[in-house]
Amino acid sequence: MFEERELIIIGGGSAGMAAAIQAFEDGVKDIVIIEKDAVLGGILNQCIHNGFGLIEFKEELTGPEYATKFAEHTRSLGIDIKLESTVLKVTRDLVVTYSSKEEGFISLKAKAIILASGCYERNAGAIQLPGSRPSGIVTAGLAQKYLNIDGYLLGKRVVILGSGDIGLIMARRMTLEGAKVLAVAELMPYSNGLNRNIVQCLQDFDIPLYLSHTVSNVEGHGRVEKVTISKVDQNYQIIPETEIVFDCDTLLLSIGLVPNVNLISNIGVKIGATKGAIVNEQMETSIPGIFTCGNCLHVHDLVDFVSAEGRNAGHGAAMYLQKGQIGSGHAHKVIAGDNVSYVIPSRLDKDLKEDVMLKFRVQKPQDNSFVICESKGKVLKKIYKANLIPSEMETFKLPKDIANSIKGDISIRIEKRGEGK
């Protein structure tokens, strides 16, 4: 029937490469990476700014430098890397079909699959952007690719909607290349970007940040000519007569990223709160043998955490390939409680062999608080956090002895100091 391969990794970005390296080190020698681009590295190739690798390499690297280190390591292991190859379909019995410039249409049967396909950007349609649709409305990541890979500056006078990190980084990048960034509008009363990016990318260049503002109109014939922003109330409804009009030629959208899971969601893999798969501590999905990691599981703010998660999935897949099953087959649920938007992993084996790192995000900023891990009302572990913000992923180490001692589901919640129940 189909050629059989041991482990197929979909995506050759930071998650896929780390997964491949770890699986190889754990004894899996027959590994295929399928990557749609002509080079390994994924989104890092267009993230030319620095700040990557402080955890992984103990030095500050740019995106291409970080990607190159992993790509060289991956290549040195002799792993089968298929470039310019797009996966079209994955089946429940682990047949992967891809189209390749060199090979045409190919199907391979895998014993295990790791999905490391990254995320995509929310666009104008996703937020029902008001106004007309002239040329010049572009997602921030696409503008980044045009500028940093292809060398095209998309516009000269720019308004940015959304203060996520990509939007902030692009505000600085386009300014340095000679564009005038007139405003960054953010729907929420706080920025979704890192504080250091607000300082380095906006304040350094006197770019105003309008919090609790959104785009209320886009005008232009052929090309964007005017963008109007308006203040919003606490229910995010536009407040009349608060309009500010900008004469501009470009509107960048930095309004969120969504895990790219189409290949596995349409074969019945269960999807969780992150819009990525529900996984256990080995990054295995609800279909045995299919693993996932990186931005297609949950959107990360640091690539160093993506690499670590990739290794987690690579290790899990190697265990599965060697033993045919992961863990005891019985799992506790991990539930997101007060002011927690999600926890990864969301399933924990009842007989853990290793301590587990729980990863979570808060829904809204909260300071001077405890992160409380509990089961059936009994506190298992409690740590203090001076500051919690949605743009920073938090980690929480749960020792295996504690996790294995409980009988019911586990939850994580945030509690303001002195306001305990």
Question: Which residues make up the interface to other proteins (CB under 8 A)?
Answer: 48-50, 60-62, 64-65, 68, 147-151, 176-177, 194-196, 198-200, 203-204, 386-387, 389, 392
CB closer to other proteins, 2 vs 152: 152
Q: Residue 90 phi/psi, 5° resolution?
A: -130, 135
Tell the smallest beta-carbon distance from residue 80 to other proteins (Å): 21
CA dist 123 to 117, 128, 369, 400, Å?
19, 9, 35, 42
Phi-psi region of 162 (alpha: psi -120 to 50; beta: other; left: phi over 0): left
CB closer to other proteins, 163 vs 214: 163
Antiparallel, parallel or unpaired: β 244-247 and 257-259:
unpaired
Distance of CA 240 to the CA centre of its chain: 35
Tell the smallest beta-carbon distance from residue 287 to other proteins (Å): 36
Contacts of 322 (CB under 8 A, 6+ apart): 27
CB closer to other proteins, 64 vs 141: 64
Tell the smallest beta-carbon distance from residue 281 to other proteins (Å): 26
Tell the smallest beta-carbon distance from residue 20 to other proteins (Å): 20
CB closer to other proteins, 120 vs 205: 205
Tell the smallest beta-carbon distance from residue 131 to other proteins (Å): 32
Residue type for 5, please?
Answer: R
CB closer to other proteins, 1 vs 176: 176
CB closer to other proteins, 193 vs 272: 193
Q: How is 327-352 classified by DSSP, letter by letter? A: TTS-EEEEEE-TTEEEEESSEEESS-
* 277 bridge partner residues: 271
Tell the smallest beta-carbon distance from residue 173 to other proteins (Å): 8
Give the count of beta carbons closer than 10 Å to the beta carbon of residue 224.
Answer: 27
CB closer to other proteins, 148 vs 295: 148
Give the count of beta carbons closer than 10 Å to the beta carbon of residue 364.
Answer: 13
Tell the smallest beta-carbon distance from residue 45 to other proteins (Å): 8
CB closer to other proteins, 43 vs 251: 43
Tell the smallest beta-carbon distance from residue 163 to other proteins (Å): 14
Q: Which of 237, 213, 217 is nearest to 227 (CA)?
A: 217
Distance of CA 205 to the CA centre of its chain: 28
Tell the smallest beta-carbon distance from residue 177 to other proteins (Å): 7
CB closer to other proteins, 178 vs 418: 178
- CA 247-252-256 angle, to 5 degrees, is 145
- Strand (E) or helix (H) holding 204: none
Give the count of beta carbons closer than 10 Å to the beta carbon of residue 59.
Answer: 11
CB closer to other proteins, 124 vs 194: 194
* 284 bridge partner residues: 291
CB closer to other proteins, 73 vs 400: 73
260 three-class SS = coil
Tell the smallest beta-carbon distance from residue 66 to other proteins (Å): 10
Long-range CB contacts (within 8 A, 24+) of 340-345: 340/412, 340/413, 340/414, 341/273, 341/390, 342/272, 342/273, 342/274, 342/298, 343/412, 344/274, 344/279, 344/297, 344/298, 345/279, 345/280, 345/281, 345/283
Tell the smallest beta-carbon distance from residue 148 to other proteins (Å): 6
